[in-house]
Amino acid sequence: MKEFEARRAELEAKQAEILADARARQEKLDGQTVTVAQKAGVDGRLFGSVTNADIAAAIVAAGIEAVKANVRLPNGPLKAVGEYEVEVALHTDAVAKITVAVIAAAE
């Protein structure tokens, strides 16, 4: 029984540490604007799309740790130039909201 209690306390401490790290990254990310450049036509539609991997790469380039699985795109990949509100789920209890600005890449 004591082994179980010790193991449980160890796991709870580890989870608290993971949550604290996620909350710290959430504070850095909340409200940030990330810019992604992609080739686009004159009507503003993209040749291709901006995926969660592209957004995660832009977040990492801004100096904050993220992976593509953290980026939530409920309507699928972004297919037009513009600004989009995107959620980055760093932990089940730590979700940051960022703005992704999709711009036309210079030719």
Q: Which residues have C-beta within 8 Å of that of residue 12, sequence separation ≥ 6?
A: none
CATH label of the domain that carries residue 92: 3.10.430.100
**The domain containing residue 35 runs over which residues?**
2-104
How many domains does the chain contain in total? 1
Question: For the residues 19-47, what does the mean pLDDT come to?
Answer: 92
pLDDT digits (tens, 9 = 90+) for 45-95: 999 999 999 999 999 998 888 889 999 998 999 999 999 999 999 988 889
Query: To 5 degrees, how large is the angle CA 9–CA 11–CA 17?
Result: 105
The answer, as to whether pTM is greater than 0.85, is no
